[in-house]
């Protein structure tokens, strides 16, 4: 694992965006796995700026969302389809057919999960998966205890997750109770993984990861078994007393 320690969240975003741009130069038809939430917003902003400044052609890039709420239409401002459209597709004027997002309105959610797995496979898999990590070590909506061999599946959102996401809604009652999320084994099939962690509240999750052991109660630790992971972590989230010898 390549561990890159930075001082600020802004530096984390700039470093991550450069890595994505480098991958895009190597492969213009890059399949990018995209995370949502607050952590990667700065990365998307930096990426958009770099693409515009360097006049890069991103028209062949495809994106694969990690997750989507069940019950929210695409045009809902808190849907994750709307999120990636707002932060990536709209500013870069990308063709929306290049955005792959689970259908949270599907009448058959199990079939939708299978369809989404097949869609990822039809793209040839994810080249670079961008991830954030929850304070309890969750990746995507894969909470502690999620089987490490899980594929795309429907999850019941925990009360703590709904509380954490309530800030994006008018009231916690508006926060969906379910979501579709890419499973842990599907994440592990990505050719490269870029994990972002910032803030003191992520300290325990980062420590668990850098301990080097795989623990089902800390889903992020599964990344210890992946051959190509880069962790970009701010100093306030990097609480381990170990040296950066995890590469």
Q: CA 130, 135, 136, 141 torsion: positive or negative?
A: negative
- DSSP, collapsed to helix, strand or coil, labels residue 129 as strand
Which runs of consecutive H residues, i.e. helices, occur in the chain?
A: 9-26, 41-54, 80-84, 90-92, 109-122, 159-165, 184-188, 203-210
Active-site residue identified among 46, 68, 103, 143 = 143
Active-site residue identified among 138, 142, 153, 165 = 138
The tally of CA atoms less than 13 A away on the side-chain side of residue 3 is 22
Active-site residue identified among 65, 98, 136, 142 = 136
- Contact partners, residue 91, CB within 8 Å, separation at least 6: 48
153 in catalytic set: no
Which residues are registered as beta bridge partners of 193?
129, 229
143 in catalytic set: yes
**Which residue's structure tokens are 């492969």?**
27
C-beta separation of 132 from 37 below 8 A: yes
138 in catalytic set: yes
87 in catalytic set: no
Active-site residue identified among 46, 67, 103, 112 = 67
Which residues are registered as beta bridge partners of 33?
64, 129
**Active site amino acids:** 67, 136, 138, 143
């Amino acid at each position: 694992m390549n561990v890159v320690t930075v001082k600020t969240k802004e530096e984390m975003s700039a470093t991550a965006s450069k890595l994505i741009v480098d991958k895009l130069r190597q492969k213009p038809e890059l399949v990018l796995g995209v995370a949502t939430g607050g952590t990667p917003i700065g990365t998307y902003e930096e990426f958009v700026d770099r693409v515009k400044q360097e006049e890069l052609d991103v028209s062949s890039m495809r994106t694969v969302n990690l997750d989507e709420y069940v019950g929210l239409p695409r045009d809902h401002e808190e849907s994750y389809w709307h999120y990636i459209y707002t932060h990536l597709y709209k500013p870069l004027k990308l063709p929306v057919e290049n955005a792959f997002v689970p259908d949270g309105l599907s009448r058959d959610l199990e079939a939708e999960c299978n369809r989404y797995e097949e869609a990822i496979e039809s793209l040839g898999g994810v080249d670079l998966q961008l991830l954030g990590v929850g304070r309890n070590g969750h990746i995507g909506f894969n909470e502690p205890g999620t089987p490490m061999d899980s594929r795309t599946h429907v999850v019941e959102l925990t009360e703590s997750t709904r509380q954490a996401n309530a800030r994006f809604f008018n009231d916690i009652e508006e926060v969906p109770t379910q979501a579709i999320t890419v499973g842990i084994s599907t994440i592990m099939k990505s050719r490269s993984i870029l994990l972002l962690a910032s803030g003191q509240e992520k300290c325990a999750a980062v420590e668990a990861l850098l301990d080097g052991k795989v623990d089902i109660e800390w889903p992020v630790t599964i990344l210890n078994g992946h051959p190509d992971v880069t962790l970009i972590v701010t100093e306030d989230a990097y609480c381990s007393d170990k040296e950066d010898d995890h590469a």
